[in-house]
Structure 1
Amino acid sequence: MASCLSTYNQSAIKQTNQTFQTPPLNYLTISLHGLFSSIGILENLLIIGVVGFHVRRSIISIWILNLAASDLLATSFLPFFTLYMARGNTWTLGATFCRIYSSVFFLNMFVSGFLLAAISLDRCLVVLRPVWAQNYRNIQLVSRICAVIWALAVICTIPFYIFRDTIPLHSGQILCYYNYVLHPPREPYDQKALCKQRKEALVFTKLFLAFIIPLLIIIISYTNVNLTLARRGCRRPFRFVRLVMAVVVSFILCWAPYHLFIVIEVMAPSTHSVQTVVMKGLPVVASIGYFNSVLNPILYVFSCPDLCSKIRHSLGAVMESVLTEDLAELARRCSTARSSISSTNIVSKHKNSITTQCLKTEEEVFDMNFASSTQA
């Protein structure tokens, strides 16, 4: 199968496979991936469940729900990446699922970048244009923006879905990787030039749309917020500065290594020794990119005291409701048991009280008639 992988690439991949077969690194990688996946799934499920169903709908909750949905999607597919690495970088789940799994990774990459940039712009507009934000910033507008972000992310992901394929190697491995000669043009073409053009197009699309442009928007937005607050003489709380620094640093640390490695893979000659380092490091930096889906809930939810208190209050209300229902059910069962044991006494007492109740009722009726006649 033609796939644009040179002989040197295949030998580098084979060396990478041998490296990952060593038990310590293999076990460590599987353990870290399992930990990331478990924490990410639990965090994002918690956010979606509590913020989506137990917190009043607001603009910030819309942002966080969409971010949590993207991160949950990514962390849910992380076990398949772990399986891929545990089997020596060999894909055994078929070509179709290879495209789906890879597309989810890239979809999360674009959605996360777009959403983080949009959240930064939203906070910037609230500070710089408070009157406009008061008049036009609402839940409906933010929901439409999130829908547009998802649509744009799906469009950006389509090329990565099209050119993803399973590639068998001479060593017996099956890669889930790019196959740039899929869907060739109808006119005669140079395969090497075609592969180079498509490879560069996809790499720099990811680099600019998913990393550089969102990062610039985040930095510029928070810089303007900081300068505007300083010009107005407002005191910037340490929590705000810490959150901004954490967002920027985590975004850079999680995604910069991945984009750096794919740029080196494109720019370096295929016979250069750096290609071996790239092939060994790509699975590692991709795992670091997945880790951003674990950090996002911590940064954007648990660092917000108001929302965090709402989550704790909502969880407490849910647990209180569950416990109340359980206690009520227990009390009902105990009452039923007691009533069944003393049913004979209750029946006898009920019979004795019939006469008294009737006499009491007659006295009440008499008193009512007497009062009405007195008023007349």
Structure 2
Amino acid sequence: MGWASPEWSSWSTGKRWTLATGWRSLLPPACSSHTARLRAESRPPMANASLRLLCPVLEQMSRLQAHGNSSLRYMDHASVTLHGLVALLGLVENALIVFVVGCRMRQTVVTTWALHLALSDLLASASLPFFTYFLAVGHSWELGPAFCKLYSSVFFLNMFASGFLLSTISLDRCVRVVYPVWAQNHRSVGAARRVCAALWAVALLNTAPYFVFRDTIPRRDGRTMCYYDVLALAPGGDPAATCGRRQAALAGSKFLLAFVLPLGDIAASHAVLSARLRRRPQAGLRPGRFACLVAAAVAAFALCWGPYHAFSLLEARAHVVPALRPLAWRGLPYVTSLAFINSVVNPLLYVLTCPDVGRKLRRSLRAVLESVLVDDGEAGSRRRRSSPGVTAAASSPSLSSAGRCALLRWLRGPAALGSDGPRSTSG
């Protein structure tokens, strides 16, 4: 397990260590402590028994000791409890959404987008218990390198898939308004499913580097980290420079592809849609409940993932500026937890954007989702059909038919009226 393993510890307490201890005992205390500090600072990254090359940041992180403050331990217990509750809530919420939308509702383009977004959130919620266990055992990864890679890959897969799906939903609504004829001929459930499959493939492709470079790294206090080991493949001539370049590439690529580009696409789609509706306002294209749901989901995505990307860029910069490392290490666990919360917030938005929540929840969750996952035009037509004017217009054919019968009787003249008279009086 590297230089933190019990074998290395027992070997290091042998004769060589005894001689070194005896040599240090001949020195004054100040000189002895200064020598120990110099040796610790000058220790090369390749310091473990397997001669594993580590980045300077990883080498410094591996020397950090577990805190022994009782108040901090209390905060750890509260954090574990909170993460456990969030994981349970996210699993139940997203599983219900996937079941109802996928198995109990008529499949449309809108429900297809919602189903895949809920699947992405369900994956993230399923990985949260592993992060909770990491916190519960003292910030140590005890599940092995395979689960380390899998857990991290699911986290980043959700990050990319959520951004891609939200941008596609906004683009779909824009295309449906700007090019209605094309959308009428090509916008189908099958096409939406193919687009979702392509988005998942692109998200998996972008997740591959994090699967490759994620690994377990032992600490000197016996704990284990699940972190980037960017020197695992082709470390190059200058390990420190290689670490900085690769860490910056990872942080910059996920910031651009999973945050900036989706939000830019959403903003551009909204601008085009607003400009078109201002030039040609149509009652049937007013923002409906699904548009409000998308706007709320985009806001939650930006608020939950924005701090994570900011600290990720700060962490990459810390490879060059060591003074930033303590700030990045303190903040990353909190912003990672905030990113996980996004998967729990999305199902709540389905309910909060639905009118008459209490009444419909008493009926079924399906009633709530059916009132929200509707295109804007279809929602407008539903409102018109349910309005009193539409009801009166629907009853007008029966009134006009009665009027035609009276007109025919009048044209037949008195004979027709007389023939009708005895029957009417005999009753």
Whether 2:154 is the aligned partner of 1:104: answer yes
Alignment match of 1:38 (pick from 68, 82, 88): 88
Structure 2 equivalent of residue 253 of structure 1: 303
Q: How does 1:1-376 map to 2 (within 5 A)?
A: 1-6=52-57, 9-10=60-61, 13-14=64-65, 22-184=72-234, 189-234=237-282, 236=286, 242-243=292-293, 245-268=295-318, 272-300=322-350, 303=353
Q: Percent of pairs identical after alignment?
A: 45
Alpha-carbon contact 1:166-1:175 (below 8 Å) kept: yes
Q: Could you tell me how far apart the structure 1 residues matched to 2:356 and 2:192 are?
A: 20
Alpha-carbon contact 1:301-1:308 (below 8 Å) kept: no
Shift of 1:14: 3.7
- Describe the superposition over 1:270-294 as per-residue Cα deviations: whole angstroms up to 9, x where unpaired: 5643311210111110111111111
Structure 2 equivalent of residue 345 of structure 1: none
Shift of 1:307: 12
Q: Could you tell me how far apart the structure 2 residues matched to 1:306 and 1:131 are?
A: 34
Q: Could you tell me how far apart the structure 1 residues matched to 2:60 and 2:201 are?
A: 35
Q: Could you tell me how far apart the structure 2 residues matched to 1:117 and 1:231 are?
A: 24
Aligned with 2:211: secondary structure? helix
Structure 1 equivalent of residue 395 of structure 2: none
Shift of 1:309: 9.4
**Change over 3 Å in CA distance of 1:18–1:182 after alignment to 2:** farther
Alpha-carbon contact 1:66-1:146 (below 8 Å) kept: yes
- Describe the superposition over 1:82-101 as per-residue Cα deviations: whole angstroms up to 9, x where unpaired: 11122222100001110001
Shift of 1:183: 1.9
Alpha-carbon contact 1:243-1:303 (below 8 Å) kept: yes
Shift of 1:243: 4.0
Q: Could you tell me how far apart the structure 2 residues matched to 1:301 and 1:218 are?
A: 23
Aligned with 2:139: secondary structure? coil
Shift of 1:215: 0.9
Alpha-carbon contact 2:139-2:223 (below 8 Å) kept: yes
Aligned with 2:328: secondary structure? helix
Stretches of structure 1 lacking an aligned partner (at least 5 in a row): 318-376
Alpha-carbon contact 1:166-1:177 (below 8 Å) kept: yes
**Change over 3 Å in CA distance of 1:39–1:163 after alignment to 2:** same
Instruction: For CA contacts below 8 A with separation 6 or more, give which structure has more relative contact order.
Output: 1
Q: Could you tell me how far apart the structure 1 residues matched to 2:200 and 2:291 are?
A: 29
Q: Could you tell me how far apart the structure 2 residues matched to 1:273 and 1:19 are?
A: 24
Q: Could you tell me how far apart the structure 2 residues matched to 1:101 and 1:94 are?
A: 11
| Greater alpha carbon shift after TM alignment, 33-42 vs 300-309 | 300-309
TM-score by length of 1: 0.76
Q: Could you tell me how far apart the structure 2 residues matched to 1:284 and 1:13 are?
A: 18
**Change over 3 Å in CA distance of 1:92–1:267 after alignment to 2:** same
Shift of 1:240: 7.0
- Describe the superposition over 1:231-280 as per-residue Cα deviations: whole angstroms up to 9, x where unpaired: 32347558677545423321111001000001011123556433112101
Alpha-carbon contact 2:244-2:320 (below 8 Å) kept: no
Aligned with 1:177: secondary structure? strand
**Change over 3 Å in CA distance of 1:131–1:109 after alignment to 2:** same
Alpha-carbon contact 1:20-1:88 (below 8 Å) kept: no
Alpha-carbon contact 2:164-2:262 (below 8 Å) kept: yes
Paired amino acid for 2:270: Y
Aligned with 2:267: secondary structure? helix
How many pairs were matched up?
Answer: 314
Aligned with 2:105: secondary structure? coil
Q: Could you tell me how far apart the structure 2 residues matched to 1:242 and 1:19 are?
A: 46
Q: Could you tell me how far apart the structure 2 residues matched to 1:310 and 1:59 are?
A: 23
Shift of 1:79: 0.8
Stretches of structure 2 lacking an aligned partner (at least 5 in a row): 1-51, 368-427
| Greater alpha carbon shift after TM alignment, 259-268 vs 216-225 | 216-225
Cα RMSD (Å): 2.9
Alpha-carbon contact 1:261-1:278 (below 8 Å) kept: yes
Aligned with 1:98: secondary structure? helix
Aligned with 1:30: secondary structure? helix
Aligned with 2:226: secondary structure? strand
Paired amino acid for 2:243: C
